[in-house]
Structure 1
């Protein structure tokens, strides 16, 4: 279901962790989605040189090419981990630049 949700809204499949997921939910009327996973996950996005941390519960509001009011995702900036509140993907994605956080 998580993969289908990302595909429907034009989001790259690698933008959210899809490892050891125990629950995925989506409320069509509001766009609210949530993902529950067994453990926190850290992923390094090499194209943008960013380390991203995904908590055990990730939630936000999804719409075409965007996730807003996102909770449970942080990116490492120097010595601290600010939250990622929104993910926006180019429409259509540019060929010279990968989608970024």
Structure 2
């Protein structure tokens, strides 16, 4: 499912316009990104939690030449699925 299909599905299930639904989804995504940039964790009960993790600096290799290179430390986004989400995916719906 891509973003437009998500907008269509949410608009049809809520009875709102596609443009209003698209703006709401954009606002939700923007708010989550802003919170993560500030270092906050975003928890959506029944769905999961988004957070920021640290990736340490390490050595790697260029696959084309085999030359060793240094990969700098970076931040990464992590997602932990909630129990209800895991159960739904595994077919254990209530």
Q: TM-score, structure 2 length as denominator?
A: 0.25
The structure with the greater share of residues assigned to strand is 1
Greater helix content: 2
For normalisation by structure 1, the TM-score amounts to 0.24
